[in-house]
Structure 1
Amino acid sequence: MAFEVRYTDLAARIGRLSTPHGEVETPAFVPVVHPVRQTISPQFLKEKMGFSLVITNAYITLKHYGDEARKRGIHNIIGFDGSVMTDSGGYQVLEYGSVEVEPAAMAQFEKDIKSDIPIPLDKPTGYGLPYGQAKEYVRITLENCKETLEVVGNDTDAVWVGPVQGAEHFDLVEHSAQALDGMGFQFMALGSPVELMEAYEFATLARMIARAKKVIPAKPVHLFGAGHPLTIPLAIALGCDTFDSASYMLYAKDGRYMHANGTARMEEMTYLPCQCPVCSSHTLKELRDMPRDQRMIEVAKHNLHVLKAEVDMTKQAIMDGRLWEYVMQKARAHPKLMEAVQLFGNNGEFDFIADGTPLFKEKAIFFFDPIDQYRPEARRFRQAVSRFATTKKKLVVFPEGEIHPFYATRGFKALAKKFPDAQIATYNPYLGIIPAEISDVFPASHNLTPRAERRTSDYQTFVESLQAFAGKFDEVIIVADEFMKQAAHEARLKARVEDYHSDHVIDRL
């Protein structure tokens, strides 16, 4: 398998995954295609919508076609000449408890039908399973994977996927990922998120992904059943490269119309807030008046456009270096999603998202809310300041203005003239203390911060930065706005504090 990473931001990667039937650009949404009943043809998915990878069910294929599938191959069976991923029946196991096939036989069948990205027969843990039972399911899955590899051997061009199970039992997720990594699987898939997402347990989903990525940071990762527009940016930001779902069709059957921030029932809608080919060629009334089956197909096509657009928007955010901003913007669409992104805060589980964040970006980053103090760029800068060394004994701190870098301002020049032997610095609620000498280093001079009243209780990283930096000096003078006054008090500094809003404050220092 070849997986080439081209661009990164947070833990997200824009990459190329090579398969026997061509390359797949990631991140990629992978539509589920039924091997027998194809309501929307795979040819339409590839030629009209640009999907280069689909997923179908090898177990259903085996039960319906048998030896015919072995002769024709899965690409001919479903009518798709791009890359095909095959699920071995794990969904049926989750739904019905078991399937009528052994892991070795399933592996041989997937090999025979020439699946590009086959998945061994696993035992999904689902969500809400007692720990002991989940542990047993993980054991069974790992045994099945060993048996699969014995059947497959080295005689295959396919990219075999290691199914990671464990769900909300995060130690089992980590154990599962480690074991599959040790077996040599080059592509991993996280199982059981469908029920998590149906319960809107996005925080649990985020932690599950984080625990797996801790073990397999570099390998491509597939996320089963992620087909909601809200979950896509979060999953990509945490390092998921592909994700499949039949949601586009399931929602359409239920009369649910996808949009950028969720779904809506068509009978409750007044307008079509979309300009995809479906929505631009029909009115809402026309869609409602269609026969049920025809309406279902049209809405399913619309839903696919929404999902693809969400992936493309997230990719563009990666390219622009604005994935953090985009994820936070999307998180405001649902409180449970905001609960998930709040975990990006002072939580060591998510430190890995800094690894793919570029050290420098061409565009200024935006700060909005307290959570932004934890974005990787801000954390890195505070760490750099913590290592800043000086022999000066006096510190003078002055509020940050609109002009960057700080050493180019009139305020700095006046302070430097008045205190030639002092260390002069400015401050930013998100970045902490900014020594003048490095006030042109990204992102100190490459950010936009709104002017607003803030409580220091929401910005503990600032208080810590102030406390640590000021502690290096014998004498500290602070020209303070209201935020800094609170911070200096909370940090219990022995400092001379002057009101920034007083007349001729620099002359009085």
Structure 2
Amino acid sequence: MAEKFAFSLKRTDGRARTGVISTPRGEIRTPAFMPVGTAATVKAMMPESVAETGADILLGNTYHLMLRPTAERIAALGGLHRFMNWSKPILTDSGGFQVMSLAGLRKLTEEGVTFKSHIDGSRHKLTPERSMEIQRLLGSDIVMCFDECPALPADDAEVARAMRLSMRWAERSKEAFGDRPGHALFGIQQGGVTEELRAESAEALQAIGFDGYAVGGLAVGEGQEAMFGVLDYAPGQLPSDKPRYLMGVGKPDDIVGAVKRGIDMMDCVLPSRSGRTGQAFTRHGVVNIKNARHADDPRPLDEACRCPACRNYSRAYLHHVFRAGEMISGMLLTWHNLTYFQDIMQGMRDAISEGRFDAWEREFHAGRAEGDIAPL
């Protein structure tokens, strides 16, 4: 095990990169997809099952955990890793995004944000200093700066204001984070879809100095074309010797497009959320298991998949348990989706290592364009 946090780039193919992030709790192979364990659990999954899918790292959520069960309680119980029985690395977000999207009656000032809990209406204050304190109590391996993430579309003046406030908060986050060997602090680039503002943000972050850099403020309603437009230049504005993390992305083709443009890490609730609503991602596109066409189908969801849902159960069974509202439905489909996402990551890591990313990408898109297998 590494004693400190480090990133080594192994190989590039075009702008796509593969490497390894070393932490005292284990190695993270990049490009990496992080399943989201919002409230100290990846919904419908056991931690060992999540590890079996190929995940090297999970994401935990500062906002949700500070409200329930509280960071102080988790710290008293031995920290987030012990609390949720996950021994590998954990990245925690700063809480900024959830405050903007979930909390009621919030008030934003230079100091931070005061808001009402979406759970019980209690009042809370989140500042860069408090966000760092919560993430220290949780014991996460990778800590995110506290930032303001404005919803798009927003005018340039509003995006610039939010970005500059986030840069001042980044400085305060760094100071409050202090010296924590073995733990990393990532800065978050903001600036909407404006190249000049993104450049200004990247420059400010590098002047402060971080262990990794996130591209924030995307996947908030701007659409894939606009997102890829930003990713055509944003990763290149950040240091090439540090991990680059695209927050909150995304669908399989978003992930592949992001890696193609130089991104190393991603997270998204999509595989687990879709699993609970009867959607399965496969090499041949999306399958809605609720559809009647699956009711008598003895075939697996995806004959090439290694997950238990595909190895041991038929489409007919998956259709039945979803229709019957059985818990195993969400469990099996989430396991399948997370496995598929991790298989995409492994496929890209191998392709980049062997210098055949373009060919891999063409095959990936061609397979998904074929659509699902014909009904029986």
TM band (smaller chain):
0.7 to 0.9
The one of 225, 235, 238 equivalent to 2:261 is 238
Specify which structure has the higher proportion of helix. 1
Equivalent of residue 323 in structure 1, options 357, 369, 376? 357
Match of 2:15 among 11, 15, 29: 11
CA distance 1:145–1:309, shift in 2 (3 Å)? same
The 2-side partners of 1:70 and 1:172 are apart by 38
Question: 1:120–1:206: structure 2 CA closer, same or farther, 3 Å change rule?
Answer: same
Q: 1:261 and 1:159, CA in 2 relative to 1: closer, same or farther beyond 3 A? A: farther
Deviations 1:280-324 (A, max 9, x none): 211111011114232111111110111011111112221232112
Matched residue, 2:47: 42
1:55 matches 2:89: no
Which residue in 2 is equivalent to 1:203?
A: 225
Q: Considering only CA atoms, is the larger Rg found in Structure 1 or Structure 2?
A: 1
Kindly tell me: are residues 191 and 126 of structure 1, through their superposed partners in 2, closer, same or farther at Cα, counting changes over 3 Å?
A: farther
TM-score, normalising length: structure 1: 0.61
Query: 1:164 maps to which residue?
Result: 189
**SS of residue paired to 2:290:** helix
The CA deviation string for residues 18-51 of structure 1, in whole angstroms up to 9 with x for no partner, is 12312111111110013255421223212x2231
Question: Are 2:234 and 1:212 aligned?
Answer: yes
Aligned equivalent of 2:314: 283
Please, which of 76, 84, 91 is the counterpart of residue 85 of structure 1?
A: 91
Equivalent-residue separation in structure 1 for 2:85 and 2:141 (angstroms) = 14
Alignment of 1:330-409 (within 5 A): 330-331=364-365
Q: CA 1:284/1:33 → structure 2, altered by over 3 Å: closer, same or farther?
A: same
Matched residues in 1 for 2:145 and 2:168: separation? Answer: 10
1:223 aligns with 2:246: yes
| CA–CA separation in structure 1 for the residues paired with 2:274 and 2:254 | 15
The RMSD of aligned alpha carbons is 2.2
- Which residues of 2 match residues 410-449 of structure 1 at below 5 A? none
1:369-418 Cα deviation digits (max 9, x unpaired): xxxxxxxxxxxxxxxxxxxxxxxxxxxxxxxxxxxxxxxxxxxxxxxxxx
Aligned counterparts, 1:118-133, within 5 A: 118-133=143-158
State the partner residue of 1:426.
none
Select the residue among 121, 125, 134 that pairs with 2:159. Answer: 134
TM-score for both structures, normalised by structure 2: 0.81
Q: Counterpart of 2:12 in 1: which secondary structure?
A: strand
User: What secondary structure, in the 3-state scheme, does the structure 2 residue paired with 1:160 have?
Assistant: strand
Q: Match of 1:259?
A: 282
Give aligned-pair identity as a percent. Answer: 23
Q: CA deviation at 1:332?
A: 5.7
Aligned residues: 331
Contiguous gaps of at least 5 residues in structure 1? 336-509
Other structure's SS at 1:17 match: strand
2:171 paired residue number: 146
C-alpha displacement of 1:181: 1.4
Instruction: Specify the alignment match of 1:453 in structure 2.
Output: none
User: What is the aligned partner in structure 2 of residue 495 from structure 1?
Assistant: none
Is residue 20–residue 30 contact of structure 2 (8 Å, CA) maintained in 1? yes
Q: 1:191 aligns with which of 206, 209, 216?
A: 216
Structure 2: segments with no counterpart, 5+ residues:
107-114, 116-123, 370-376
Q: Which residue of 2 aligns with 1:75?
A: 81
Return the alpha-carbon distance in structure 2 between the equivalents of residues 195 and 155 of structure 1: 32
CA shift, 1:261, in A, is 5.1
Supply the distance in 1 between the matched residues of 2:159 and 2:311 (Cα, whole angstroms). Answer: 47
Retained in 2: the 8 A contact 1:229–1:262? Answer: no
